Amino acid sequence: MTNTGKIVWGVILGVVVLIFFIFFWKYNSIVTMEESVNTAWAQVENQYQRRFDLIPNIVNTVKWEANFEKSTLEAVVNARASATKTTINVNDAKELAQFQQEQQGITQALSRLLMVTENYPNLKANQWFADLRVSLEGTENRISTERMRYNETVQKFNTYVRLFPNNIVSSFLWFEKKNLFESDAGANVAPKVDFAN
């Protein structure tokens, strides 16, 4: 083999080794970022579970009020039961949308429950109920924060897998964009405030 042939083979081997190194470096980066997305999603689920765990305590505390609206309590219990049955693949846009819709159902049912409790002085004066209400409000804030963190992590991942040359590695190994949480239906419409009534 001539010196030119050795140089050509050396260059080809060097390029192959470089491509191999870049490929696995990018692969490891994508896997690391995907695990960050999975961890962020686990935190979202953790906060929703915290809310699920609070609901029975709130319902049981409210039940003792003899005149309390049964339909309001049933709406909360049914919304919780529906949401806890849902298994979700966060990478499936339809499943994520259904999950969001069921969580919104719980939020609405809890909002109605808390609004109605304002009509019951015994409940308003009950320290246990007041503590549960504060815990619920804190949980709702945590849910919002974790959803925001999840979206930020997903945005970084989606950007990374779409950039060149990452897009070649990600498409070759079937890494796909992740789904974001979207705002709830009607969130883009400002509430109407009427001080005349």
CA distances 175 to 39, 130, 153, 158, 170, Å, are 17, 47, 15, 10, 5
Q: Tell me which residue of 177, 51, 56 sits closest to 104, measured CA to CA.
A: 51
Confidence (pLDDT) at 36: 95
In whole angstroms, give the CA distance from residue 94 to residue 92.
6
pLDDT on residue 3: 79
Distance CA 127, CA 160 (A): 49
Per-residue confidence (pLDDT) for residue 162, from 0 to 100: 92
Q: Which residues contact 104 (CB under 8 A, 6 or more apart)?
A: 184, 185
What residues in the chain have per-residue pLDDT under 50? 186-197
pLDDT in tens, 4-43: 887 888 888 888 888 888 888 888 999 999 999 999 999 9
Q: CB within 8 A of 8, min separation 6: which ones?
A: none
Query: Which residue from 119, 180, 184 is spatially nearest to 148, judged by alpha carbons?
Result: 180
Q: Which pLDDT score, from 0 to 100, does residue 67 have? A: 65
Fold classification of 42-172 (topology level): de novo design (two linked rop proteins) (1.20.1440)
pTM confidence score: 0.78
Task: Please report, for the chain, how many H helices and E strands are present, in that order.
Answer: 6, 0
| Structure confidence at residue 196 (pLDDT) | 43
